[in-house]
Chains A and B, each alone.
Chain A
Amino acid sequence: MTTTTARSFDVGASTDVPERGRLVVAIDAGARTVTVGVFRFRGRLFAYENVCAHQGGPACQGRIVSRVRERLDAEQGSLGTVFDEDTMHIVCPWHGFEYDVTTGRHPGRPDYALRPVAVAEEGGRVRVTL
């Protein structure tokens, strides 16, 4: 049986990850290099491996955009599309899969998900654990 010991890495200053922003870093973790995207939404940090659940694209390096929703009137008629500022999406630039940054999941098919990475913030520094 092999055991891997988790290791934590300082990946940058808190100010490197602004609100609705990101920090993408490559980390040499033993035998392999892991690329991780760290995002901030409403003050909290979220981190994911930069590998899309679709075909492995660099999901963390895509556009950051609010989820698009469609509004309906009382008769169920469409009032058109709007941005939902309460939901931040990261979009894989290869083919457009969108992920809710707080869950890492595709909004329409939650089993399409990014691999979460533990992230913490202490003393103005951001640390991820692999």
Chain B
Amino acid sequence: MSIDEGVRRLPTQEITTHTDSREILANAAADTERYGLDDYFIVDVDSHHVELDSWPEILQYLDNPVLRDTANQMMRNWPNAGRLALHNHSPGLTMQDVSGRIPHQAALAEETPGSEGGAHRDVTLVRRAMEAMSIDLQVVFPQPMLETGLHPQPQVATALLQAYNRWFTAEVLPREPRIKTMLGLPFEDPEACLATVEEFADHPGVIGFLVTSQRHAGVHRNAYMPLYRMLEERGLPIGFHAGPNQADSMTSTMNRFLSAHSMSFVTCNMTHMTNWVINGIPERFPGLKTIWIESGLAWVPFMMQRLDHEYFMRQSDAPLLTKPPSHYIREMYYTSQPMEWTDDALLESTLCAIDAQNSLMYSSDWPHWDFDVPGKIAAIPFLDDHAKRNILGETARKVFGL
């Protein structure tokens, strides 16, 4: 007896870090067919590549010869520094893949025949993900670089961000016009932020700038006003990209990655949004488009209610405001992932509260462990097609002028 005709044993019985992205994501094709996603303009406003794979190349873009020498000596002499020199990458993040249960988080170690060097390989991997998920344009960010706001030496963090930005604009963006980015700002140094915008704002593929949210700077400090003015004048959005922190005053009490991840990816943006709104930054720069990235959505109605509640009693603490905090919050933009969809009624009221059809932009966060496919938006039963088209791409088209 033998296997019946029409039955095929899958070549990949178990998906591992070595499986091709297109195969990992093959089931996304079912959504493409079911929802006709090929007919939608899909922009993914938050995805990642692994910059540490190209770390030795990136470090050669360090401006300062002394720091470059430090980096090269570290890579030469320290057995494990080849992909980490000068970086503050936190070892706790290796818990992200849930002990090998979610392999693509740990590595995309698949074959990429013919790719020369890290940047070329990155572009190949991004193209595979876009193809598998029917994405038209993808905004690509780094990963461990998102932690540089916690670097013990802020001047090193600034230098690393500058080197990374130069590398990304020189090596990655020119290879694929469908890749876009919002470049990280060296936020510890307001002057360097201005220089960064000046240097890269007109570079093809740069569609905005990013504050990595794990940091201890008050975003309302006067030193940042020239930066916000500059971005507003140039029509470039500012994004706040959340990140993990397992060692802040609250998460350091937590014994599970789940706990620290659930909280820290949100509390960093809660902090910045509070300073942003209560200090009236939207009143000062009404044309500055603000995007909150990778904190999910469930926190936003909480912030609206909490800040309104206190504002009504303490108007003198927020004198620049001319309307309740929730109104400003509703006028800002949000990326969708990780969209907490555990209760239909709660999700529906969240989407209504934030005016999702005009403020929400789809993001995958691929290849992270809690990524979302476009089908997740298409499947929402209480949104009409117009809203879904906006969320999947049309709002991003408007916000970024794509």
Please report A residues at the B interface, Cβ cutoff 8 Å.
9-12, 16, 22-29, 35, 50-52, 55-58, 61-65, 91, 93-96, 98, 123, 125
Q: A93, B376: Cβ atoms under 8 Å?
A: no
- Expressed in whole angstroms, the Cα–Cα distance for A17 and B24 within the complex equals 22
- Answer whether A63 and B100 are a contact pair too, CB < 8 Å, given A55-B376, A56-B375: yes
Q: Which residue of B lies closest to A57 (CB)?
A: B27
Q: B27, A23: Cβ atoms under 8 Å?
A: no
Please report B residues at the A interface, Cβ cutoff 8 Å.
1-4, 6-10, 12-15, 24, 26-28, 30-31, 98, 100-104, 369-373, 375-376
Choice from B4, B27, B98 contacting A96 with Cβ under 8 Å = B98
- For residue B1, which residues in chain A have a CB less than 8 angstroms away from its CB? 10, 123, 125
- For residue B28, which residues in chain A have a CB less than 8 angstroms away from its CB? 56
Q: Please list 16 pairs of residues, one from A and one from B, whose beta carbons are closer than 8 Å in the complex, sorted by A's number.
A: A9-B6, A11-B4, A12-B9, A16-B9, A23-B13, A26-B8, A52-B27, A56-B28, A58-B26, A58-B27, A61-B13, A62-B14, A65-B101, A93-B101, A95-B102, A95-B370
- Expressed in whole angstroms, the Cα–Cα distance for A63 and B106 within the complex equals 14
- Nearest-neighbour CB distance to chain B for A66, whole angstroms, equals 12
Given contacts A16-B9, A52-B27, A58-B24, 13 further A-B contacts (CB under 8 A): A10-B2, A11-B9, A12-B9, A25-B8, A27-B7, A35-B10, A51-B30, A55-B375, A56-B375, A61-B15, A64-B14, A65-B101, A123-B1
- For residue B104, which residues in chain A have a CB less than 8 angstroms away from its CB? 93
Choice from A50, A61, A96, A123 contacting B102 with Cβ under 8 Å = A96
- Answer whether A11 and B7 are a contact pair too, CB < 8 Å, given A55-B376, A56-B373, A93-B103: yes
Choice from B2, B9, B101, B373 contacting A23 with Cβ under 8 Å = B9
Q: A96, B369: Cβ atoms under 8 Å?
A: yes
- Answer whether A12 and B3 are a contact pair too, CB < 8 Å, given A93-B102, A95-B371: yes
- Expressed in whole angstroms, the Cα–Cα distance for A64 and B15 within the complex equals 11
Q: Which residue of A lies closest to B97 (CB)?
A: A96
Choice from A16, A29, A52, A61 contacting B14 with Cβ under 8 Å = A61
- For residue A9, which residues in chain B have a CB less than 8 angstroms away from its CB? 4, 6-7
- For residue A26, which residues in chain B have a CB less than 8 angstroms away from its CB? 7-8, 10
Q: B372, A22: Cβ atoms under 8 Å?
A: no
